[in-house]
Amino acid sequence: MSINKLVSIKNAIVDASDMLALDHNKMLPLFMTWATYAEKEIGGQGVIRKFAVIDICGCTAELPCDVKKMRGAVLGEHDPNCGSLFTSRLGGAMNFSTSGGNQFIVVDAGSIGETTNCGIVPYEIQDNKMVFSYDVNETKMTIMYDGYASDCDGFIKIGENHVAAISEYIQYMYWKRKRNKSNQEVNSMNMAYREWDRLCAHARALDAELNDTQKMEIAELYNDPYAGRGLYKGMTTTTDYGWFNY
């Protein structure tokens, strides 16, 4: 299995159909819905870095339908050039200087004769739209985002390590959907659920993706005044109050 290799979600559907001895095309719409639910539950990593120019209408801007996570935005219509636009704007705009014991922020204003605007436009995401805090004097915005990858037929792509888990989820839902189940069908449903539960956790582990609860726990530990990053930095500094001087 290749690192971060993405394959069509139809691979999981075909595998499940073969296990259930069903026609692939006949069950495709229903199985696709179940496969999408399973991918969301795993916490799909089938995303790639994308760029787009979107229109600004008043205080809002409609995002592309395949956006999963916003990475950056620059007012105006620009050529992102593989992300170099966002590296220069977001990563290298400010430089901290501590020479001579002084601490101040230097903002690179570019070449002589150029006009450079440095500022932040606050926004939040609502209903797949960027909602700004005030009117923006631009009609275009260039964004960088993580978007869902898709195959040539328009079906989303998933991590190669998700295929087995999604296949088991489809089989579980198929048996669960049946009415007047026999004992054999109930056993098949329970077995598929156990395999789905196990493989879902395994796929998350391979992705190294934390769930929301784990992310909150890490954030709380990091910012804890008694055990977080701030205390660690204070205790390991080279000044008189650090323990390394004792």
Residue, of 229 and 96, whose pLDDT is higher: 229
Per-residue pLDDT, averaged over 180-188, amounts to: 95
Q: What is the rounded CA–CA span in Å between residue 204 and residue 4?
A: 13
> pTM here?
0.67
Q: Dihedral, CA atoms, 45, 46, 52, 57, nearest 10 degrees?
A: -70
The model's confidence at residue 134, banded by pLDDT at 50, 70 and 90, is: confident
Query: What local confidence, expressed as pLDDT, does residue 64 receive?
Result: 92
Q: What is the CB neighbour count within 10 angstroms for residue 37?
A: 14
Task: Report the distance separating Cα 240 and Cα 246, nearest Å.
Answer: 8
Q: What is the DSSP letter of 99?
A: G
Mean pLDDT, residues 103-110: 46
CB 204 within 8 A of CB 42: yes
pLDDT band at 164 (very low <50, low <70, confident <90, very high): very high
- Please give the C-alpha separations between residue 147 and each of 45, 47, 69, 119, 144, in angstroms, as whole numbers: 10, 5, 7, 26, 9
User: Looking at the chain, which runs of residues are DSSP E strands?
Assistant: 6-8, 47-57, 60-62, 67-75, 94-97, 104-107, 123-126, 129-132, 140-148, 157-159
Over residues 126-147, the mean pLDDT reads 87
**Reported confidence tier of residue 239, pLDDT bands at 50, 70, 90:** low
Cβ proximity of 67 and 184 under 8 Å: no
- Whether 99 has a pLDDT exceeding 50, the answer reads no
Residues 45-90 pLDDT 10s: 688 899 999 999 988 999 999 888 888 888 888 888 877 777 765 4
Quote the pLDDT of residue 119.
Answer: 60
Please give the C-alpha separations between residue 31 and each of 87, 90, 113, 157, in angstroms, as whole numbers: 41, 42, 60, 15
**Residue 2: per-residue pLDDT:** 59
**Across 6-15, 47-56, 93-102, least confident range:** 93-102
The predicted pLDDT at position 177 comes to 94
